[in-house]
Amino acid sequence: MSHEHEFFIGGQWVKPASSATADLVDPSTERPFASIAMGNAEDVDRAVKAARAAFPGFADTSVAERLELLRRILAAFDRRRDQMAAVLSREMGAPAKSALSAQVASGPNHLAEMVRTLESFAFETRRGTTVIRREAIGVCGLITPWNWPVNQIVCKVAPALAAGCTMVLKPSEIAPLNALIFAEILEEAGTPPGVFNLVNGDGPTVGRALSSHPEVDMMSFTGSTLAGIDVAAQAARTVKRVAQELGGKSPNVILPDAEIAKAVRLGVLRCFGNSGQSCSAPTRMLVHEADYEVAAAAAREAAESLRTGAPSDPATDLGPLVSRAQFDKVQRLIEAGIEEGAELITGGPGRPEGLDRGYYARPTVFGRVSPEMRIAREEIFGPVLCILTYSDEEEAVRLANDTPYGLAAFVQSGDPARAARVAARIRAGVVQINYPPLDRGAPFGGYKASGNGREWGEHGLSEFLETKAVIGDASGA
């Protein structure tokens, strides 16, 4: 990879409009290890114009042609898995074992799911002489985050390609090298010039230029709720569609008929995966008040069994947080939890013992958390779990819904009917019962401040399509 100071526009690697660069910092050492070019509005305009020029031809391609393109991308991706995993460990601190098996694997898995979706998707349906057509929406601006970068890039690019759209991607400036590899993959797979374009940069400059550009028809954004609001405000000026996957504060309702210790242990592992830097992580654990002591002991044991360390160490479970800003935010909220009177079950402020450098946070569990505490309401985005108690099922549901977010929720119960009843009452876009296997064909997205729109599978493809009604079509075709 040798394109750190170039952008991919119109099928070519090109020099940026300015000489601005930004250092990339290894979160395990706090030292810069590379730099990237930073774009501006001129770069965005050039990329959007390339996407606009490519749109008519790509929108007219057949489903078979787009399927073949996706299959070539999948094959090219498979050849770069190890390189992608190494880059992710370096730029965002993913432990070696999860960088390959989770972070990188999510890309090919979602590509394969989109191939399956496209093979059977109905772009046209007929009711008498009325034809309902689903057509590519146009030029799409894609903004992706640093926490699951490959996953989020593929969850946007794959359905956009399947729909026949063209696009401009702005990956996170904190972890952008994986996006450069992905651009090389698309180039190797023979993606037509201008269909996929990449411009690196920050949100206030490149993100706003993309969101407000009059020739962009749709914005697909994943990131914080505050940044999502700004994207929507910029996009509103040109009445473009906006699909958002934003923050979360997901409840994990453990009902009394569950295997409490097991459910708690698995809940801790789900919460602390990716060092807690997942928008759908079950960060609020709700247990019956009679089960609190068992839950607290199980949570302590699970948290203290996890090894925090260098991403390159095969034994590491939790790597560093991605940046100094993220580390400082997590430390402030841990300290707020202590100041507001939550019970510190394990962990606390500072780095784990033996780690004097790097953005490492101690796996932390708070108990007896009340709903008004900051740690119960704000998205921490670190390895911090809050345990709240409830007296009955009605209170459990109320507490689960007592959040401005609504991305995900979890329910644990030994009674399938009871679990389904509770799940139906929770206001969240995705509810998982008893930690099921991941279904990449299910729609992923949130309620309330967690955004709008859906990703994954058929619903993700639909986000990139316009709906046209042709009334009076007597052709019978």
Measured between alpha carbons, how far is 408 from 280 in angstroms, rounded to an integer?
5
Q: Identify whether residues 325 and 223 lie together within a single domain.
A: no
Q: Identify whether residues 323 and 429 lie together within a single domain.
A: yes
Q: Is residue 400 within 8 Å of residue 426, measured between CB atoms? A: yes
What secondary structure does DSSP assign to 26-49, as a single string? Answer: ETTTTEEEEEEE---HHHHHHHHH
Q: Is residue 9 within 8 Å of residue 197, measured between CB atoms? A: yes
* In the predicted structure, residue 348 carries a pLDDT above the cut 70: yes
**Two tokens, residue 116:** 């399956």
* In the predicted structure, residue 458 carries a pLDDT above the cut 60: yes
Q: Identify whether residues 215 and 263 lie together within a single domain.
A: no
In a domain, 409, yes or no: yes
Distances (CA, A) of 397 to 247, 252, 367, 389, 390: 20, 10, 19, 12, 9
Residue carrying structure tokens 């160490």: 313
In a domain, 477, yes or no: no
In a domain, 61, yes or no: yes
Kindly tell me the burial class for residue 465, based on how many C-beta atoms sit within 10 Å of its own C-beta (0-12, 13-18, 19 or more): buried
Q: Using DSSP bridges, classify how beta strands 21-26 and 31-37 pair: parallel, antiparallel or unpaired.
A: antiparallel
| Residues 6+ positions from 450 with CB-CB distance below 8 Å | 225, 245, 246, 247, 248, 279, 405, 406, 407, 428, 429
**pLDDT tens per residue across span 295-312:** 999 999 999 999 999 999
Q: Is residue 113 within 8 Å of residue 459, measured between CB atoms? A: no
Could you tell me the CATH number of the domain that includes residue 308? 3.40.309.10
Residues pairing with 367 in the sheet: 343
Candidate list 279, 386, 458, 463, residue with the active-site label: 279
Could you tell me the CATH number of the domain that includes residue 57? 3.40.605.10
In a domain, 370, yes or no: yes
3-state secondary structure 106-129: HHHHHHHHHHHHHHHCCCEEEECC
In a domain, 309, yes or no: yes
Distances (CA, A) of 307 to 313, 315, 317, 333: 10, 7, 5, 22
* In the predicted structure, residue 1 carries a pLDDT above the cut 60: no
Q: Identify whether residues 220 and 266 lie together within a single domain.
A: no
Q: Identify whether residues 234 and 328 lie together within a single domain.
A: no
Q: Identify whether residues 292 and 279 lie together within a single domain.
A: yes
In a domain, 445, yes or no: no
* In the predicted structure, residue 358 carries a pLDDT above the cut 60: yes
pTM value is 0.97
Q: What is the pLDDT of residue 2?
A: 81
Q: Which sign does the torsion angle of CA 463, 465, 471, 475 carry?
A: negative
Q: Which sign does the torsion angle of CA 278, 279, 280, 282 carry?
A: positive
Distances (CA, A) of 181 to 21, 100, 144, 154, 267: 19, 15, 15, 12, 34
Distances (CA, A) of 297 to 11, 191, 386, 398, 412: 56, 53, 14, 25, 18
Residue 161 belongs to domain spanning: 7-246+450-471
Measured between alpha carbons, how far is 284 from 287 in angstroms, rounded to an integer?
10
Q: Identify whether residues 161 and 281 lie together within a single domain.
A: no
* In the predicted structure, residue 477 carries a pLDDT above the cut 80: no
In a domain, 1, yes or no: no
Residue 165 is a catalytic residue: no
Mean pLDDT across the chain, nearest whole number? 97
Residues of the chain with pLDDT > 70: what percent? Answer: 100
Mean pLDDT, rounded, for 17-38: 97
**pLDDT tens per residue across span 237-265:** 999 999 999 999 999 999 999 999 999 99
In a domain, 425, yes or no: yes
Measured between alpha carbons, how far is 266 from 295 in angstroms, rounded to an integer?
11
Residue 386 is a catalytic residue: no
**Two tokens, residue 48:** 């959007």
Measured between alpha carbons, how far is 364 from 388 in angstroms, rounded to an integer?
15
Q: Identify whether residues 184 and 203 lie together within a single domain.
A: yes
Q: Identify whether residues 290 and 203 lie together within a single domain.
A: no
Candidate list 91, 245, 455, 463, residue with the active-site label: 245
3-state class (DSSP) for residue 231: helix
Q: Identify whether residues 207 and 268 lie together within a single domain.
A: no
Measured between alpha carbons, how far is 185 from 76 in angstroms, rounded to an integer?
6
Q: Using DSSP bridges, classify how beta strands 31-37 and 384-390 pair: parallel, antiparallel or unpaired.
A: unpaired
Measured between alpha carbons, how far is 254 from 87 in angstroms, rounded to an integer?
37
Mean pLDDT, rounded, for 32-37: 98
**Two tokens, residue 353:** 């013992």
Supply angle C-alpha 253, 258, 260, rounded to 5.
85
| Residues 6+ positions from 456 with CB-CB distance below 8 Å | 110, 113, 155, 440, 441, 442, 443, 444
**pLDDT tens per residue across span 394-443:** 999 999 999 999 999 999 999 999 999 999 999 999 999 999 999 999 99
Supply angle C-alpha 415, 269, 276, rounded to 5.
125
Q: Which helix (H) or strand (E) holds 133?
A: strand 130-136
Measured between alpha carbons, how far is 284 from 33 in angstroms, rounded to an integer?
36
Q: Identify whether residues 264 and 135 lie together within a single domain.
A: no
Of 236, 242, 217, nearest in space to 48 by CA: 217
Distances (CA, A) of 254 to 261, 388, 390, 423: 10, 11, 10, 12
